Structure 1
Amino acid sequence: MDDADFYAHSANAAGDWHLLNDHLKSVGRRARTLSGTAPWREEAGLAGDQHDLGKYADRFQARLRGRDSGLDHWSLGAWLALKQHRAIAAALAIQGHHVGLQRADPTGLMGLDPTKLTSQHPLGLALSDPDLERLLKRADADGLEFTPPTIKAITSWHHAVAAMLDVRLLFSCLVDADFLDTEAHFEGNAAGKCPRTPGPALDPHAALDALDRYMREGIRPGTQAQPAVREARESLWQACTTAAQSATGCFTLTAPTGSGKTLAMLKFALEQAHRHKLKRIVLAVPFLTIIEQTAQVYRAVFADFPAHFVLEHHSLAGLGAETTQADALTPQERERRLLAENWDAPIVITTNVQLLESLFSNRPSACRKLHNLMESVILFDEAQSLPTHLAVPTLAALSHLSAAYRTSVVFATATQPAFDSLHQAVSKHAAPGWQPVEAVPDHPTLFAALKRVSVTWPNPGEKRTWDNLAEELQNIPQALVVVNLKRHALALLQALGNAPDIVHLSTNLCPVHRRAVLSRVRKRLAAGEPCRLISTQCVEAGVDLDFPRVFRAFAPLEAIAQAAGRCNREGRLHESGEVRVFDPEEQGDWRRRYPTHAYFQAAEMTRRILLEHGTIDINDPAAFQNYYRQLYDLSQPASQNPSFEEAINARDFPEIARRYRLIEQDAIQVLVPWAEQIEDYESLRNEAEADGIGGAWMRSAQGLAVSVYRPRADHPAWSIMIPAKLRRTGKADRQQDAWFILEDPHGKHYDETLGLILPQSDPVLIG
């Protein structure tokens, strides 16, 4: 360490301090590289070059030595980008690389003026140095040059959702470059920085060979499906192969359940990647159970590929909320950012929550991965799960991502929403609007060929008690019952008693426990043994089960159709499988019967159509188009969210991030002691207690973790959940608020059948 030098970061474990000019040049170079072929790549590089300009201040150098605090070292670089280079996106990215993207209206941008920040800083901080000229002279003497970009990311805010996505993508390049270089310093040794090994590159040709071999040697010879089902699956495979030869763009992929959609989607994606030299494939799904099953299939396909060829990123909770107060340089904050996932893998399997909320986030760790969506294929499985009140901005962002950055977006489902009816509303926020191409134009023929179930609907006003349903189930050896609420599943389990063939599935069970339950169910079904599965909605989308009878609590039409997809899936029954829709007897308003108001509204639209027509053919794609169009006429997605629209018009990044929520409540992760993997639990618990948790720990812990809504402060659950501590941070700053370890020495709170049972659990468990 030399007092004549300027530093970006304090000493690492080897005792080396991080030179500021090295950090700025490295981040600038990496930000340009991460931008790929984006037209604004030089602006991203500029953001990297001057993002930490304020660290040339004497006060900041004193702060690194523990002699100062409460400093803003980012606003001077942002002001330089705005006033001297007219680079609005770079200015916003530099301003936000610690505190998050802020308002981009004229008032918000002018708030970067050093004279205003000196007199009244919005976060109560002090500028590290209010003299921009002094900082520039020091940077120049340190060998830095700042070249204005010729192409700017922002030239107009006319299509605000699209323009704000451009800002987030540039921001993503900056923060990922910054985090990676900072990580390389702190992981460094006597030989210098130790950058992480990049993820393997996508080789679509080799991946296609592996997929075709898996289909040829593993799937087709071993199938027990009837000839009509096999023919329909082959038709879907060929349709996806053909459709993938077209240009990148937005697609729908409409195919019935049981038609082999999971692997056909992958075939489409790999063919597109091969034809257009795309960099990765991202699969987003609504439920954890789909991730678990799909990841297992993908890993079987690519068993001979590098270990990190397929990345699962499915935690509903990350490392807690980032703070905006203080100067965002605490060891805890740095650790959180370094552990944030950047999706540097050829194939990423994630949740809708992770992907879509990141597209509208303003936080550095959430946005870090976004640049890896450029020049990719994004697959949305079970696309019907997208909330209608967020449909218009979501479609606008995806449409712009596709049109501007050579990304293909695929909405795959058996129950395709009528999102094309929102084209005009979407085009106000992104010029292309929403006009996807159907990848399987002959899908009605597929639905007709795969008609394997008959549906019995309840008579008007007909209700069923749990005791009545349990009595009927006693005489049915193999049946699946899907209910809308965990409370309903527990009520039915109680009515059924302790019969050995009664099985329960919900997200109260940790992922490895759910996989074990599903494996047992499949074995019983294949052997013809009694098996009655009581499940929440987590079973009905993408989970490969084949029951002869399915009972479904009254629900939105798409949910009923998805549940029916678990019935006679392989077409092996001599007659059609039987799906019975029933109305549970429940007193009170919709809150007692359905998980959300939107779910209730969609269920009532299904009821209205049923009353009007007497029946609904769930094997007819036109029935779903009619259902969705009527639902949109009722719910008015384009005008359903006026406060969100106001935030978009105000270019208010923090407010948009706050309001774009697929899951309204904050979630935490709880490591649980499932008996069959108790040694793994104890190993993870001991490691967390001794060394703290890091990225590898969290990836290992996901299989034994249950996601729950964060309980209120006085909830008794906190008495049995111990917060895990972060690794590599000072003892005073090791707390985080997203990962917890269940202390359950007497086995009261994690049950072999019911899973996690927290005291007064109804308010906190995710449904």
Structure 2
Amino acid sequence: MKDDCYYAHSANHAGIWHALGDHLTSVGELARTFAGFAPWREEARLAGEQHDLGKYALRFQARLRGQDAGLDHWSIGAWLALTQHQAVAAALAIQGHHIGLQRADRRSLSGLEPGRLASQHPLGLALSELDPLRLLERAHGDGLEFQTPQTKAVLSWAKPIAAMLDVRLLFSCLVDADFLDTEAHFEGDATGKRFRRAGPNLDAGAALRALDRYMYSGIRSGRPMQSAVREARETLWQACTEAALAPTGCFTLTAPTGSGKTLAMLKLALEHARSHGLKRIVLAVPFLTIIEQSAQIYRAVFADFPEHFVLEHHSLAGLGAETAQGDAQPPHERERRLLAENWDAPIVITTNVQLLESLFSNRPSACRKLHNLMESIILFDEAQSLPAQLAVPTLAALSHLAAAYRSSVVFATATQPAFDSLHEAVSQYAAHGWQPVEAVPNHRDLFTALKRVDVIWPEPGGKRTWDDLAEEIEGIPQALVVVNLKRHALALSDALRNTPDVVHLSTNLCPLHRRAVLSHVRDRLARGEPCRLISTQCVEAGVDLDFPRVYRAFAPLEAIAQAAGRCNREGRLSESGKVEVFDVEEPGDWRRRFPTHAYFQAAEVTRRILLDQGAIDINDPAAFRSYYRQLHDLSLPANQNPVFDEAIKARDFPEIARLYRLIDQDAIQVLVPWSERLDDFEILRAEAEGDGIGGAWMRRAQGLAVSLYRPRADHPAWGVLIPAKLRRTGKADHQQDEWFILEDSRGDHYDETLGLILPQAEQVLIG
């Protein structure tokens, strides 16, 4: 370290200090590159060049030598970007690159003024330097010149979700550039910085050839199927090929279960990417059951492609790749985790939670990958799963991403929501609203051609008891029963306790246990052996099962259709499969038969239509359009979230990030002793009791973890839940309240059939 030089970071393992001028220049150039064709790319460069300007302060240089602490080195650069360059997005990004994006109202931005921060810093920190001109002088001495960008990201807040997404995308460019350049310094040696190896590029032409080989050598030639099914799949395939030629934008892809939608989506995405030179395909799915199935198909298609051509980013990705000690990782797994940080891969498979919550996040780590959504095609499978209370802001963000950044968004499902009815509400937040193009204009013909089930609707007022239903199921060798609540699954399983070949499936079972159950069920179905599966909704969307008979507790119309998709799925029966919808006879408030108020509300819309019409044709897409329009008229999605709307109007990035949640976050994870992986459980428990738990432990534990809503303080469940302690870090001990280990020495609380059973379990288990 030279006394007359300014540094960004301390020495790496080769003893080389990171020169500040080099860091700012490099981050600026990287940020501009990541911005691609965006009109605000020069503002991204400015953000990179000024993000660590406060490190030119003598106090910060002393901090690098361990002689100072408690410094804010970011606010001064944000203030200069705001006042000298009128670059609001750059200022917010610079301010947030360590602490997250903050509020963007005028009062909050004026709080960046050095004098105000010096007298009352919100984090109790001291500014590394009070005089911005002194820092600029030193930066100029390092050869830096800061140009005011001609075009900026935020020109108006009139469409607030669109403007805030622009800020997040610029923020993404900055934080990814900063991460990568800093990492390259610490991975470097005496010859210079060493940047990580980039992920492979999307060669859409080669990928299409691989997909066609897979289809023709495996799916089309190798699987017996009815001619109607084959023709329908060919029709869908051709429609997706033609739709891919359309300009980038927003699409719906409406196709029935069993039509080959998973591979047809991929065909559309690859053809579209080849036509428009898009860089990346992102597949987002709502449930881990779907993600495992889709990932397996994608890996098979691209088996001969470079490693990480298909990148999985979800809680079960890389499960078990670490050693027993938890921290060591095989090289390929370490590379996967690095690529997952910023989605640097041609095909990314992830969850709705990971993608959509990132679009509304304010945290550097979550936003880091967002710039890689530009010039990409984003596929949403089972699009009907988007919560109504978040529909309008979500559609606005996706609409703006497509319209402004040459990306395409595809909502694929057999039960397409009528989101275009929300166009006017979406237009309040993003100029283009929501007016998607249907990729399969003749999709109604596909539903007619692939009609494989008849639905038996309940008579008005007709009720079934669990004992009645159990008696009927005993006489059917292969049947699937889907219920709305875990306690209902337990009640029916109990009524069938003396019946052989009964299998239970719910999220009471840990993921590895669920995976094993589904494999067992598929094997028995394939061999024609008796199999009676009692399941919650976790079996519906995307789970490839084919039963001749399905029973479905009364539910929203889309849930009934999803359950019907597990009946005669491949069309192998000589006649239509049978789906019977039933009402449960249960004392007390009838709303308790449903998991949430929104679920109950949607079920009642279904019941109203049924009373009016006598029956509903689940093979008619028009029936779903009418259903969703009535549901939107009743639930008013645009008015469901006033607190969130207020946060948007206030441009409050932290509050928006806190409020935008696809699933209930007040949950805990319980490590359970499933017998087939008992050794893994014992190893994980021993590590937790010894060294404590860390990130690697949590990743390895995901497969043996059951999620619960957090029990109330006096709940008896706490008597068998042992808190896992965090690994010691050399600092003060930290407590965590999310991970617990099940104390089940007698085997009372984790059952080989029913999974986790706790006292009063129905009050705490996540459905």
Q: Which secondary structure does the structure 2 equivalent of 1:377 belong to? A: strand
Structure 1 stretches lacking a partner, 5+ long: 319-336
Q: 1:669 to 1:138 in 2, by over 3 A?
A: farther
CA distance in structure 2 between the aligned counterparts of 1:668 and 1:310, rounded to whole angstroms: 30
Conserved? CA contact 2:688–2:724, under 8 Å: no
Stretch deviating more after TM superposition (503-512 or 398-407) = 503-512
What residue number does 1:110 align with?
110
Stretch deviating more after TM superposition (185-194 or 584-593) = 185-194
5 Å-filtered alignment, 1:579-728, equals 579-589=579-589, 592-667=592-667, 669=669, 672-679=672-679, 702-709=702-709, 716=718, 719-723=721-725, 725=727
Q: CA deviation at 1:664?
A: 2.9
What residue number does 1:49 align with?
49
CA distance in structure 1 between the aligned counterparts of 2:317 and 2:687, rounded to whole angstroms: 20
Stretch deviating more after TM superposition (50-59 or 234-243) = 50-59
CA distance in structure 2 between the aligned counterparts of 1:483 and 1:354, rounded to whole angstroms: 28
| CA shift digits 1:455-496 (9 cap, x unpaired) | 111122222222222222111111111111222212221221
5 Å-filtered alignment, 1:177-188, equals 177-188=177-188
| CA shift digits 1:358-392 (9 cap, x unpaired) | 11111211111111111111011111111112111
Conserved? CA contact 2:463–2:582, under 8 Å: yes
Q: Aligned letter for 1:716?
A: W
What residue number does 1:443 align with?
443
Structure 2 stretches lacking a partner, 5+ long: 319-336
Stretch deviating more after TM superposition (456-465 or 161-170) = 456-465
Q: Verify: 1:480 aligned to 2:480, yes or no.
A: yes
What residue number does 1:40 align with?
40
What residue number does 2:375 align with?
375
* Length-normalised TM-score, structure 2: 0.91
Q: Verify: 1:754 aligned to 2:754, yes or no.
A: yes
| CA shift digits 1:386-435 (9 cap, x unpaired) | 11121111111111100111111001111111111111111121111111
CA distance in structure 2 between the aligned counterparts of 1:305 and 1:742, rounded to whole angstroms: 42
Q: Verify: 1:82 aligned to 2:82, yes or no.
A: yes
Q: Verify: 1:403 aligned to 2:400, yes or no.
A: no
Conserved? CA contact 2:254–2:415, under 8 Å: yes
What residue number does 2:557 align with?
557
Q: CA deviation at 1:753?
A: 2.3
Conserved? CA contact 1:720–1:744, under 8 Å: no
Conserved? CA contact 1:316–1:669, under 8 Å: no
Stretch deviating more after TM superposition (521-530 or 755-764) = 755-764
Q: Aligned letter for 1:313?
A: H
Q: 1:590 to 1:145 in 2, by over 3 A?
A: farther
**Percent identity for Structure 1 against Structure 2:** 79
Q: Aligned letter for 2:120?
A: Q
CA distance in structure 2 between the aligned counterparts of 1:734 and 1:140, rounded to whole angstroms: 43
Q: Verify: 1:567 aligned to 2:564, yes or no.
A: no
Q: Which secondary structure does the structure 1 equivalent of 2:524 belong to? A: helix
| CA shift digits 1:675-704 (9 cap, x unpaired) | 334455566677888998887776665444
Q: Which secondary structure does the structure 2 equivalent of 1:624 belong to? A: helix
Q: CA deviation at 1:194?
A: 4.0
Q: CA deviation at 1:210?
A: 0.9
Q: CA deviation at 1:95?
A: 0.9
What residue number does 1:161 align with?
161
Q: 1:480 to 1:686 in 2, by over 3 A?
A: same
CA distance in structure 1 between the aligned counterparts of 2:195 and 2:708, rounded to whole angstroms: 35
Q: 1:145 to 1:758 in 2, by over 3 A?
A: farther
Conserved? CA contact 1:31–1:177, under 8 Å: yes
Q: 1:738 to 1:30 in 2, by over 3 A?
A: farther
Q: CA deviation at 1:308?
A: 1.2
What residue number does 1:244 align with?
244
Q: 1:317 to 1:260 in 2, by over 3 A?
A: closer
Conserved? CA contact 2:693–2:724, under 8 Å: no
Q: CA deviation at 1:122?
A: 2.4
| CA shift digits 1:86-115 (9 cap, x unpaired) | 111000111111221111121121111112
Q: 1:306 to 1:717 in 2, by over 3 A?
A: farther
| CA shift digits 1:318-363 (9 cap, x unpaired) | 9xxxxxxxxxxxxxxxxxx989732111111111111111111112
Q: CA deviation at 1:139?
A: 2.2
CA distance in structure 2 between the aligned counterparts of 1:544 and 1:303, rounded to whole angstroms: 21
Conserved? CA contact 2:199–2:339, under 8 Å: no
CA distance in structure 2 between the aligned counterparts of 1:654 and 1:103, rounded to whole angstroms: 7
5 Å-filtered alignment, 1:167-178, equals 167-178=167-178
Q: 1:635 to 1:214 in 2, by over 3 A?
A: same
What residue number does 2:323 align with?
none
Q: 1:235 to 1:86 in 2, by over 3 A?
A: same
Q: Verify: 1:413 aligned to 2:413, yes or no.
A: yes
Q: CA deviation at 1:651?
A: 1.4
Q: 1:540 to 1:7 in 2, by over 3 A?
A: same
5 Å-filtered alignment, 1:351-362, equals 351-362=351-362
Stretch deviating more after TM superposition (554-563 or 68-77) = 68-77
Aligned-residue CA RMSD (Å):
2.8
Q: Aligned letter for 1:284?
A: A
CA distance in structure 1 between the aligned counterparts of 2:696 and 2:625, rounded to whole angstroms: 44
Q: 1:689 to 1:178 in 2, by over 3 A?
A: farther
Conserved? CA contact 1:273–1:377, under 8 Å: yes
Q: Which secondary structure does the structure 2 equivalent of 1:720 belong to? A: strand
Q: Which secondary structure does the structure 2 equivalent of 1:341 belong to? A: helix
CA distance in structure 2 between the aligned counterparts of 1:184 and 1:760, rounded to whole angstroms: 53
CA distance in structure 2 between the aligned counterparts of 1:304 and 1:695, rounded to whole angstroms: 31
CA distance in structure 2 between the aligned counterparts of 1:183 and 1:759, rounded to whole angstroms: 49
5 Å-filtered alignment, 1:168-317, equals 168-188=168-188, 193-315=193-315
Q: 1:718 to 1:474 in 2, by over 3 A?
A: closer
- Work out the number of aligned pairs and report it: 747
Q: 1:734 to 1:640 in 2, by over 3 A?
A: closer
Q: 1:145 to 1:680 in 2, by over 3 A?
A: farther
Q: 1:754 to 1:4 in 2, by over 3 A?
A: farther
Q: 1:71 to 1:683 in 2, by over 3 A?
A: same
Q: Aligned letter for 1:303?
A: A
Q: Aligned letter for 1:98?
A: H
CA distance in structure 2 between the aligned counterparts of 1:76 and 1:489, rounded to whole angstroms: 59
Q: Aligned letter for 2:398?
A: L
5 Å-filtered alignment, 1:140-155, equals 140-155=140-155
5 Å-filtered alignment, 1:6-17, equals 6-13=6-13, 16-17=16-17
* Length-normalised TM-score, structure 1: 0.91
CA distance in structure 1 between the aligned counterparts of 2:646 and 2:66, rounded to whole angstroms: 43
5 Å-filtered alignment, 1:528-539, equals 528-539=528-539
Q: CA deviation at 1:223?
A: 1.9
Q: CA deviation at 1:596?
A: 1.5
CA distance in structure 2 between the aligned counterparts of 1:30 and 1:52, rounded to whole angstroms: 15
Q: Which secondary structure does the structure 1 equivalent of 2:571 belong to? A: coil
CA distance in structure 2 between the aligned counterparts of 1:193 and 1:425, rounded to whole angstroms: 49
What residue number does 1:544 align with?
544
| CA shift digits 1:197-232 (9 cap, x unpaired) | 221111111111111111111111222322111111
| CA shift digits 1:57-108 (9 cap, x unpaired) | 2333333444443322211111011000111100011111122111112112
Stretch deviating more after TM superposition (180-189 or 367-376) = 180-189
What residue number does 1:332 align with?
none
Conserved? CA contact 1:101–1:363, under 8 Å: yes
Q: Aligned letter for 1:211?
A: L
Q: CA deviation at 1:310?
A: 1.5
CA distance in structure 2 between the aligned counterparts of 1:203 and 1:103, rounded to whole angstroms: 41
Conserved? CA contact 1:590–1:600, under 8 Å: no
| CA shift digits 1:500-539 (9 cap, x unpaired) | 4111222333333322221211111111111011111111
CA distance in structure 2 between the aligned counterparts of 1:107 and 1:172, rounded to whole angstroms: 24
CA distance in structure 2 between the aligned counterparts of 1:622 and 1:135, rounded to whole angstroms: 64
Stretch deviating more after TM superposition (127-136 or 448-457) = 127-136
Q: Verify: 1:387 aligned to 2:383, yes or no.
A: no
Stretch deviating more after TM superposition (104-113 or 741-750) = 741-750
What residue number does 1:506 align with?
506
| CA shift digits 1:104-133 (9 cap, x unpaired) | 121121111112212222233222222212
Q: Aligned letter for 2:722?
A: I
What residue number does 1:62 align with?
62
